[in-house]
Structure 1
Protein backbone atom coordinates (compact mmCIF):
# COMPACT_ATOMS: atom_id res chain seq x y z
CA UNK A 1 0.00 0.00 0.00
CA UNK A 2 1.33 3.43 -0.90
CA UNK A 3 0.12 6.45 1.08
CA UNK A 4 0.87 10.14 1.52
CA UNK A 5 2.27 11.12 4.89
CA UNK A 6 1.60 14.76 5.79
CA UNK A 7 3.99 16.20 8.33
CA UNK A 8 6.01 19.29 9.23
CA UNK A 9 9.44 19.87 10.73
CA UNK A 10 9.63 19.77 14.52
CA UNK A 11 6.44 17.72 14.94
CA UNK A 12 7.09 15.07 17.61
CA UNK A 13 3.85 13.21 16.80
CA UNK A 14 4.97 13.08 13.17
CA UNK A 15 8.34 11.64 14.17
CA UNK A 16 6.61 8.97 16.28
CA UNK A 17 4.20 8.12 13.45
CA UNK A 18 7.06 7.75 11.00
CA UNK A 19 8.84 5.40 13.41
CA UNK A 20 5.67 3.29 13.57
CA UNK A 21 5.48 3.29 9.77
CA UNK A 22 9.04 1.95 9.59
CA UNK A 23 8.13 -0.76 12.13
CA UNK A 24 4.98 -1.78 10.26
CA UNK A 25 7.07 -2.23 7.10
CA UNK A 26 8.58 -5.31 8.75
CA UNK A 27 5.16 -7.00 8.60
CA UNK A 28 3.21 -5.20 5.88
CA UNK A 29 4.00 -3.74 2.42
CA UNK A 30 3.79 -0.02 3.26
CA UNK A 31 5.45 2.77 1.31
CA UNK A 32 4.83 6.48 1.51
CA UNK A 33 5.53 9.87 0.06
CA UNK A 34 6.27 12.49 2.70
CA UNK A 35 4.62 15.89 2.21
CA UNK A 36 5.72 18.87 4.30
CA UNK A 37 2.53 20.88 4.82
CA UNK A 38 4.57 24.04 5.33
CA UNK A 39 5.51 23.93 1.63
CA UNK A 40 1.88 23.83 0.43
CA UNK A 41 -0.52 26.54 1.61
CA UNK A 42 -3.66 24.52 0.83
CA UNK A 43 -2.41 21.41 2.65
CA UNK A 44 -1.19 23.55 5.56
CA UNK A 45 -4.65 25.05 5.97
CA UNK A 46 -6.30 21.64 5.59
CA UNK A 47 -4.08 19.64 7.96
CA UNK A 48 -2.39 22.10 10.34
CA UNK A 49 -4.42 20.87 13.34
CA UNK A 50 -4.49 17.20 12.29
CA UNK A 51 -0.87 16.24 11.55
CA UNK A 52 0.48 13.74 11.22
CA UNK A 53 -1.96 12.58 8.56
CA UNK A 54 -1.89 9.41 6.48
CA UNK A 55 -3.95 9.71 3.31
CA UNK A 56 -4.67 7.34 0.45
CA UNK A 57 -6.65 8.25 -2.67
CA UNK A 58 -7.61 11.62 -1.12
CA UNK A 59 -9.09 9.91 1.96
CA UNK A 60 -7.66 10.45 5.45
CA UNK A 61 -6.94 7.01 6.88
CA UNK A 62 -5.62 8.18 10.25
CA UNK A 63 -4.26 11.28 11.92
CA UNK A 64 -2.94 12.57 15.22
CA UNK A 65 -1.31 10.02 17.49
CA UNK A 66 -0.69 7.08 15.15
CA UNK A 67 0.45 3.77 16.61
CA UNK A 68 1.37 0.38 15.24
CA UNK A 69 -2.16 -0.98 15.84
CA UNK A 70 -3.69 1.92 13.88
CA UNK A 71 -1.48 1.11 10.92
CA UNK A 72 -2.13 -2.63 11.13
CA UNK A 73 -5.87 -1.95 11.00
CA UNK A 74 -5.38 -0.22 7.65
CA UNK A 75 -4.12 -3.48 6.20
CA UNK A 76 -6.82 -5.57 7.89
CA UNK A 77 -9.48 -3.34 6.29
CA UNK A 78 -7.87 -3.85 2.84
CA UNK A 79 -8.54 -7.59 2.86
Structure 2
Protein backbone atom coordinates (compact mmCIF):
# COMPACT_ATOMS: atom_id res chain seq x y z
CA UNK A 1 0.00 0.00 0.00
CA UNK A 2 1.49 3.34 -1.09
CA UNK A 3 0.34 6.74 0.15
CA UNK A 4 1.46 9.82 -1.77
CA UNK A 5 2.26 12.80 0.44
CA UNK A 6 2.63 16.12 -1.38
CA UNK A 7 4.61 18.70 0.54
CA UNK A 8 7.29 21.36 0.27
CA UNK A 9 10.19 22.49 2.45
CA UNK A 10 9.43 24.90 5.28
CA UNK A 11 5.74 23.97 5.49
CA UNK A 12 4.73 23.65 9.14
CA UNK A 13 1.38 21.98 8.30
CA UNK A 14 3.37 19.43 6.30
CA UNK A 15 5.46 18.61 9.37
CA UNK A 16 2.29 18.02 11.40
CA UNK A 17 0.79 15.88 8.62
CA UNK A 18 4.00 13.82 8.36
CA UNK A 19 3.78 13.07 12.10
CA UNK A 20 0.12 12.10 11.73
CA UNK A 21 0.96 9.74 8.85
CA UNK A 22 3.67 8.13 10.96
CA UNK A 23 1.18 7.63 13.82
CA UNK A 24 -1.25 5.89 11.48
CA UNK A 25 1.65 3.85 10.11
CA UNK A 26 2.08 2.36 13.59
CA UNK A 27 -1.39 0.77 13.21
CA UNK A 28 -1.48 0.02 9.48
CA UNK A 29 1.41 -0.97 7.24
CA UNK A 30 1.89 1.36 4.28
CA UNK A 31 4.66 3.17 2.45
CA UNK A 32 4.80 6.96 2.36
CA UNK A 33 6.00 8.35 -0.96
CA UNK A 34 6.83 11.97 -0.19
CA UNK A 35 6.79 14.35 -3.15
CA UNK A 36 8.19 17.88 -3.03
CA UNK A 37 5.83 19.93 -5.20
CA UNK A 38 8.53 22.55 -5.80
CA UNK A 39 10.41 20.01 -7.94
CA UNK A 40 7.56 19.65 -10.44
CA UNK A 41 5.88 22.66 -12.09
CA UNK A 42 2.56 20.88 -12.71
CA UNK A 43 2.31 19.57 -9.15
CA UNK A 44 3.29 22.96 -7.75
CA UNK A 45 0.52 24.65 -9.70
CA UNK A 46 -2.00 21.96 -8.76
CA UNK A 47 -1.26 21.73 -5.02
CA UNK A 48 0.44 24.97 -3.97
CA UNK A 49 -2.61 26.27 -2.08
CA UNK A 50 -3.61 22.86 -0.71
CA UNK A 51 -0.45 21.35 0.80
CA UNK A 52 0.00 19.12 2.59
CA UNK A 53 -1.98 16.70 0.44
CA UNK A 54 -2.43 13.01 1.25
CA UNK A 55 -3.45 10.89 -1.72
CA UNK A 56 -4.33 7.19 -1.67
CA UNK A 57 -5.39 5.11 -4.68
CA UNK A 58 -5.55 8.25 -6.87
CA UNK A 59 -7.95 9.96 -4.47
CA UNK A 60 -7.18 12.93 -2.24
CA UNK A 61 -7.89 11.77 1.31
CA UNK A 62 -7.08 15.05 3.07
CA UNK A 63 -5.29 18.32 2.57
CA UNK A 64 -4.35 21.27 4.78
CA UNK A 65 -5.24 20.03 8.25
CA UNK A 66 -4.65 16.28 8.40
CA UNK A 67 -6.09 14.17 11.22
CA UNK A 68 -5.59 10.62 12.43
CA UNK A 69 -9.22 9.44 12.30
CA UNK A 70 -9.80 10.48 8.68
CA UNK A 71 -6.55 8.88 7.51
CA UNK A 72 -7.20 5.65 9.41
CA UNK A 73 -10.72 5.34 8.03
CA UNK A 74 -9.56 5.95 4.45
CA UNK A 75 -6.77 3.37 4.66
CA UNK A 76 -9.04 0.70 6.17
CA UNK A 77 -11.54 0.83 3.29
SS of residue paired to 1:72? helix
Unaligned runs of 5+ residues in structure 1 are none
Shift of 1:12: 0.6
The correspondence of residues 14-53 of structure 1 with structure 2, limited to 5 A, is 14-53=14-53
- TM-score, normalization by structure 1: 0.89
Q: Tell me if the contact between 1:24 and 1:30 (Cα under 8 Å) persists in the aligned partners.
A: no
- TM-score, normalization by structure 2: 0.91
Question: CA 1:30 to 1:46, structure 2 compared with 1: closer, same or farther past 3 Å?
Answer: same
Q: Tell me if the contact between 1:51 and 1:63 (Cα under 8 Å) persists in the aligned partners.
A: yes
Q: Tell me if the contact between 1:37 and 1:44 (Cα under 8 Å) persists in the aligned partners.
A: yes
SS of residue paired to 1:66? coil
Unaligned runs of 5+ residues in structure 2 are none
SS of residue paired to 2:44? helix
Count the aligned residue pairs.
77
Separation of aligned partners in 1, 2:58 and 2:45: 15
Could you tell me which residue of structure 1 aligns to residue 62 of structure 2? 62
Shift of 1:56: 2.5
